[in-house]
Copies of this chain bind each other. A is one copy, B any other.
Amino acid sequence: MLEDILEEYKKAWALGHALALMGWDLETYMPQEGSKYRGEATAQLITLRRNEIMKLAEKVDRIDESKLDDKERGIIRVLRREIKYYRAVPKEIDEELARLTSEAFIAWSKARNESIFSIFKPYLEKIVDLKRKIAESLGYEKHPYNALLDLYEEGFTVDDADKVFSSLLPELKTILEKILSSGYYPTHHPLEDMTYDVEVMKKVNDEIINILEMPRSKFRIDISPHPFTQRISADDVRITTRYEGKDFRATMFSVIHESGHAIYELQIDPSLEMTPVGQGVSMGVHESQSRFWENIIGRSREFVGIIYPLLKRFLDLKYDEEEIYKYFNVVRPSLIRVDADEVTYNLHIAIRYEIEKRLIAGELKVDEIPPLWNDLSEKYLGIRPKNDAEGVLQDVHWSGGSFGYFPTYTLGNIIAGMIYAKFNVLEKVRERKFNEIKEYLREKIHKYGAIYPPKVLLTRSFGDAYNPEYFIKYLREKYLSK
């Protein structure tokens, strides 16, 4: 029975494989005018994939879980989640959302360029409306936002999130104040203004990939406007970066960040390929991997020690190692999330979480967002946006209907902190034993794919789930001990 399901699932898998490649190509090599038909083909394949999944629904319904092993139970769990979504959410709503979000993206771009929220407002209202309908269709306990959170982080709830932020926020405030008053970590570094030659920086990034020992026969790096990682198959995982010509940290850390995502996908047990569990388990766990590599490893003194000779040689740097370390760890409250350091980053997420939760609950109207955004910025970050472009309009996510996604960024930080607490990662970095780091992550997280729900996986491997205290301890150790 399960065998039949897995054999039939290969069709959906193959469609997913094609969609993954089409998405990657869209952002990397597709000629500009190719987008119209790429959009058409993508919509058709999404429908075909949905149909293939729904053909399995009755068989999946009849499966008796008690007779299954963990892997098999995982397969059925993941399939049931997807089937539940398709049964609950009318196809028309998803189609309307797809149409709406592609228009909304254009409206949002214009609104942000002109810093006029009202251009985006009518689209956002419709999107919030549809997301609330989706939450109602899916059903939930306690809070409608739970239905949306669950789509990105299975089983994660408003109660969980409230607990996370209520312990995280005061701690972050204290840590930030201490860092700023000590003055050791700069709020600006001259290297932020340094320009670089793109061809030279490509070579630096290539060396970084060598240092991380990424497996070239299954991995590649390309350029795209927004860095991302795409799994095409167990043996084909690709990342991208971008080159802005200044502040070389940005492109370098996006390479390390995306490599963290890629290592996860590459280390999922190969026997899970072509099954529903052959993928990362959740956005939060995925983000923990990218942030573990980017922040905990990449911004450490130990890592600076390894890459310093390389940076000096290629970029002709006039600073010593400790200065590079400071450049990598500038801490300053700022208005733009994507430029935020690892201390203030979660303050940005808190703003979005508050707003999303109240919007989806129907407690907040869309036109009330901008003043609330600005008030929350002042409350958490101590600065107030001068306009909507550096406030409510800065992120693309809402134009794409991604409500419930932002909190997983904070979960990524928290989980990375949990791993840091359990594993002497910086010692391994000092010894350049990156393969031992990968091995640890493989055994604790990667190899399981989506077999266990994220809370179960984390509890099995670390004895705890979404507990922010380790992340706070990490920040204290790193920023307040020197």
Residue positions of A touching B, CB distance < 8 A: 10-11, 13-15, 17-19, 21-22, 25, 29-34, 36-38, 40-42, 44-45, 47-48, 216-220, 222, 232-236, 238, 273-274
Contact = CB atoms under 8 A, between A and B. Distances in A.
A158 B255 CA distance: 58
A41 B11 CA distance: 8
B274 A31 contact: no
Q: Most chain-B CB neighbours within 10 Å: which of A18, A217, A232?
A: A18
A15 B43 CA distance: 11
B31 A220 contact: yes
A37 B235 contact: yes
A31 B217 CA distance: 5
Contacts of A216: 31
A14 B15 CA distance: 11
A218 to B, nearest CB: 5
B21 A236 contact: no
A194 B415 CA distance: 59
A236 B30 contact: yes
15 contacts: A14-B40, A14-B44, A15-B45, A17-B38, A18-B41, A18-B45, A21-B22, A31-B217, A32-B217, A32-B218, A34-B232, A34-B236, A36-B233, A37-B273, A38-B232
Contacts of A36: 233, 235
Contacts of A33: 217-218, 235-236
A14 B233 CA distance: 20
A236 B41 contact: no
Contact of A34 (B13, B19, B22, B233): B233
A21 B219 CA distance: 18
A20 to B, nearest CB: 10
B219 A44 contact: no
A51 to B, nearest CB: 9
Nearest to A48: B11
Q: Which of A45, A236, A273 has the most CB of B within 10 A?
A: A236
A217 B220 CA distance: 25
Nearest to A45: B14
A13 to B, nearest CB: 7
Given A48-B48, A233-B41, A236-B34, A29 B220 contact: yes
B233 A37 contact: yes
Contact of A274 (B10, B19, B40, B45): B40
A31 B219 contact: yes
B14 A25 contact: no
A413 B151 CA distance: 58
B25 A21 contact: yes
Contacts of A21: 18, 21-22, 25
Given A34-B236, A235-B37, A18 B22 contact: yes
A214 to B, nearest CB: 10
B236 A44 contact: no
A11 B14 CA distance: 15
Sorted from nearest, which 9 A-B pairs have the closest CB atoms?
A34-B236, A14-B44, A37-B233, A18-B18, A17-B41, A33-B235, A14-B41, A32-B217, A33-B217
A27 to B, nearest CB: 13
Nearest to A18: B18
A9 to B, nearest CB: 10
A239 to B, nearest CB: 12
A177 B397 CA distance: 71
B44 A10 contact: yes
